[in-house]
Structure 1
Amino acid sequence: MKKRHLFAGIVAVLAVGVGATAYVITPTVHAGQTGEAPELGRTGVYAVGTVAKNFTLTNRQRITGWGALTGNLESADRNLSVRFWFPAKAGSTDETAQYVHSMNLPGKDPFDIVSSGYAHADAEALEGEKFPLVLMSHGYGGWNSQFSNLGEHLASRGYVVASIHHGDAPVDGVTSAILSFGNVLVDRTLDQRQILTQILENTKSASTGYSALIDPQTVGLIGYSMGGYGAIASAGAPYVYENSPMSNIPEVAQAQLQEISKEPAPIKALVTFAPWGGQPDNRAWSAENLSKIHAPVLLISGNQDDVVNYEEGVKWLHASLTGTERYMLVYREARHNIVGNDFDVQSDFAFSAIEFLKEPVWRSDRLNAINQHFVTAFLDWKLKGQEDKADYLNVPTVDSNKGNWPVGFGEQLNGKLAGSEEQDFWKGFQRRWAAGLEMHHAVAGE
């Protein structure tokens, strides 16, 4: 059997004031969210609990230096941590979560970054109710609480959220970068599928705790960047191995991916932020394989994304998902970092840390509020069957700047949100605040 070598293909990837005539009073400050957030980006009614659990994934192929050269891979158990957020009993604990992650950048000493949440650590889960499960998968080099804002938000609105810590190997040189990224190519969809299987299996015997809250028939999957790459495969689009770097994955790992991709995971809604794998120079799918996805898709991207190539990559993915209804939310002038906590960045941080965490044009807190709004609308519609939430996605203008909301001379709206009476404006946004966005829509067959 011909051995495939990993090194050659991946190097290229890594080179990489008038008196008011009307005054509508609405709150401008909301618990858990600033008043500028659109309607569904505001914290929900449920108290939130959080806990981290460990999962063991057996008999996983690992690419080592020797394996990359020979194609002979090692097999070992893979141990990953998963952070859960879930609807909790109010007042069951006073302790709120602090999410600490140690960043380890090439050539830099490790340093901690901390996010403060409003979830309660080790809180008691609600009882007697069922909620959809949402699995989250981070990008290359990310971690499971990097999007704790989104996890907490969805839990506050009636979801059990499970965020995987994929444990990507750190990088300290060219060789370690090649091996680390090669394993990511293999691991993402395998991690998602195997952990989802274990979570759903645990629901069968659970009578209390977060597992007992999960409705195994309503599952959503959210992936960012390489997490989106894995999520697209998990939702039913098998990889193709004709292009680099996919062609350089050792054959035994290709066979494992092909076997697990014969059937889609039980996903009923897919959200991808800036997914990797559509760009022509690193294309992981054919259009034919992408058309095999039948779960509805919400794709979110910046139109200046130079990591995954918005023009030739992300737009191609959206156009090729012809087997399903899909929406594409676009942040104009944004690059790749369109999701993630609004981390406080110290003045002496290395710029590589700033570049990894921050978006150059959009404020992180603004991005998060808008993401929370649209992801909530999409999942409420597709997982909970709340048909009225479709109105938040079926916007009246592709370009948010062209929305129309006339007011009288001197009329003060004080944060009023567009509703059924403002049908020419993006629903749930304040007047003038739906700006810099686009929403594209296509149905199955288009």
Structure 2
Amino acid sequence: MLRIVLGTALLAVAATPLAAQNRIDGQAPNAPALSAYGSYAVGVRQFDLVNRNQIDVAAIDPTGTGELARYDRPLTVEMWYPAATDSIGATSFNTYLRDGVTEVTLEGRAIRNAAPPKESNPFPLVVVSHGYPGNRFLLSHLAENLASKGYVVASIDHTDSTYRDQRAFASTLVNRPLDQRFVLDEMARLNADAGSDFAGLIDTDNTGLIGYSMGGYGAIVSAGGGLSESAMRLGPRDTLAIHREGSETHDALPDPRIKTAVAIGPWGMNVGLWDAEGLAGIEIPMLFIAGSNDRTSGYDNGIRKIWEGATGVDRALLTFEGGGHNTVGPIPAPVESIAAGVSGHYTDPVWDTVFMNDVGQHFVTAWMDLELKGDSTMQRYLDLQQNGSDGVWSVDENGAFRDDHTYWLGFPEGAAEGLSYEVLDAQVAPVPLPASVWLLGLSVAGLGALRSRRKGKA
């Protein structure tokens, strides 16, 4: 069920001096090239969705018996999209801080309820999931930036997981992948609705997922990473069994419309939510973004381990040396967050938030353009030396790069320090020996050659 909300407390309001301080569209002086906003004007609208007859995980008595409680699960979605070039209107909006009480005004570039452009080519869809707790505006900087580059971006308020309605953690574990799939279906319905402003403009057949923290957990499960047997303990009355690796329900979850995913600080590997078999089930290329000092999701025993274990797909890992769990995820801390005592929810002790977000926008742009738009020119921004500090900056007197220039493409001199970008290719499944080999009695040498092929040596 979907309806557009045109009159709520979250509608854009006139900008104020305070709102101007809480900008989400900042660009650091040393921002990499692809972090800049694109050529499209940006619009934003709010939708209220309802996923009918869902299990009410937060209401379950773990010791109870009988039928599980059910409810109509509400999901508010903020959608950023390319807008008509002549769009005008307010670009500020209200939201709540981490404390769930303090309301603040943020300022961006998206125009509330702007008309979409009059063009026939649809835009790829990106579905965004926040952390626990969070809300649909936590990654609004990234959503708005991508919309300016020709994407429709649907960011979800995950019920039971927002600053205002935080409830049982098990609800987040069960519902994140289901919410992502449901919102994809609703965006497809909106695209097919001839009476909608967005009819024919949302290419849901080319969809990407972006998830931060618990949103990253959901993206991994949606991508095919089924949960381990030990993870089942975290869901009351076996409610997590629907995401168990090898179950019929999880096997049916990955959606062919979802072509790629970006997981920012994904949580769960450090507490055993996946085993090797589950991670090997990931079906789509993934970009992972992490801080090497992430104490919430873990780095070596968490995010990096997921990246290493997703053996069935091509994947990359962007690491901020010394960065924590807030690496790339949240908006810059609103000024009111200091007085409210929650500024640490948005900041990193090592890295500047605006610069981190710029780097994230740069890499996500290259990744999504390559995977969803098929823009092969973006590959050059991803063919990098592993460590940014190892690159050589070499220009001639005219500012042109010399042949020995190896610095990360798109980064100003010195801006890639402390960053690493690593790539792993999908492992090719072994080629089984056919029974006819034995029936024909091939020579030992022939068998050796075949076995070499199985190992990728021939």
TM range (shorter): 0.7 to 0.9
The answer on 1:101 being equivalent to 2:83 is no
Q: Which of 147, 152, 155 pairs up with 1:163?
A: 155
* Residue aligning to 1:440: 422
> Are 2:126 and 1:134 aligned?
yes
- Aligned match of 1:153: 145
Matched to 1:385, the amino acid is G
Q: Is the 8 A contact 1:125 1:208 kept in 2?
A: no
Picking from 68, 80, 89, the partner of 1:85 is 80
Per-residue CA deviations over 1:158-187 (Å, capped at 9, x if unaligned) read: 100000010335799xxx98x521211111
User: For the structure 1 residues 122 and 181, does the alpha-carbon distance in structure 2 shift closer, same or farther, using more than 3 Å as the test?
Assistant: same
Distance 1:199 1:65 in 2: 29
* Corresponding residue of 1:69: 63
Residue of structure 1 in register with 2:386 after alignment: 398
User: More displaced, 37-46 or 179-188?
Assistant: 179-188
Conserved 8 A contact 1:231-1:270? yes
Distance 1:47 1:260, change over 3 A: farther
C-alpha separation between the residues in 2 aligned to 1:348 and 1:328?
Answer: 32
Cα distance between partner residues in 1 of 2:293 and 2:421: 16
1:5-404 alignment, distance < 5 Å:
33-64=27-58, 67-70=61-64, 73-104=68-99, 110-127=101-118, 128-168=120-160, 180-206=168-194, 208-243=196-231, 246-251=232-237, 253-257=239-243, 258-263=247-252, 264-265=254-255, 266-279=257-270, 282-338=271-327, 339-346=329-336, 348-351=338-341, 353-395=342-384, 397-404=385-392
Residue 25 of structure 1 corresponds to none
Give, in whole Å, the separation in 2 of the partners of 1:307 and 1:226.
Answer: 11
Report Cα offsets for 1:97-150 as digits up to 9, x if no partner. 324225436xxxx21233211001000011222110000000001000111110
Mapped partners of 2:76, 2:239: distance in 1 = 23
**Distance 1:71-1:138 versus aligned 2 partners, 3 A rule:** farther
Rate the CA distance shift 1:301–1:346 in 2: closer, same or farther, 3 A. same
The SS at the match of 2:142 is: helix
Distance in structure 1 (CA, Å) of the matches to 2:420 and 2:241: 39
Q: Is the 8 A contact 2:389 2:416 kept in 1?
A: yes
The letter of the residue matching 1:168 is D
2:171 match: secondary structure: helix
d(CA) in 1 for partners of 2:264, 2:212: 5
Distance in 1 of aligned mates of 2:162 and 2:261: 28
Q: CA deviation at 1:259?
A: 5.0
Is the 1:140–1:168 contact (alpha carbons within 8 Å) kept by the matching residues of 2?
Answer: no
Equivalent-residue separation in structure 1 for 2:202 and 2:155 (angstroms): 15
Task: Name structure 2 gaps, 5 residues minimum.
Answer: 1-24, 429-458
Equivalent-residue separation in structure 1 for 2:144 and 2:405 (angstroms): 31
Q: Look up the equivalent residue of 2:149 and give its one-letter code.
A: R
Structure 2 counterparts to residues 422-433 of structure 1, below 5 A:
423-433=405-415
Q: 2:411 and 2:163 mapped to 1: Cα distance?
A: 42
SS in 1 for 2:339: coil
Give the residue type in structure 2 aligned to 1:341.
I
Aligned length in residues: 396
Of all paired residues, the percent bearing the same amino acid is 34
Q: Which 10-residue stretch deviates more, 227-236 or 34-43?
A: 34-43
- Alignment check: 8 A CA contact 1:93 1:122 kept: no
Q: How does the TM-score come out when normalised to structure 1? A: 0.83
Report the alpha carbon displacement of residue 403 of structure 1 after superposing the two structures with TM.
0.5
| Shift, 1:317, TM fit | 0.3
Whether the 8 Å CA contact 2:77–2:155 is kept in 1: the answer is yes
2:295 aligned counterpart, secondary structure: coil
Contact 1:103 1:113 in 2 (8 A): no
Distance of 1:87 and 1:138 partners within structure 2: 22
1:4 aligned residue: none
| Aligned-pair Cα RMSD in Å | 2.4
Higher RCO (C-alpha 8 Å, min separation 6): 1
422 and 135 in structure 1: CA distance in 2 versus 1, 3 angstrom threshold: farther
Contact 1:71 1:250 in 2 (8 A): no
Displacement of 1:68 in angstroms is 2.5
Deviation at 1:344, TM superposition (A): 2.8
- The structure whose Rg is larger is 2
8 Å CA contact 1:133, 1:218 repeated in 2: yes
Rounded to whole Å, the distance in 1 between the matches of 2:162 and 2:337 is 24
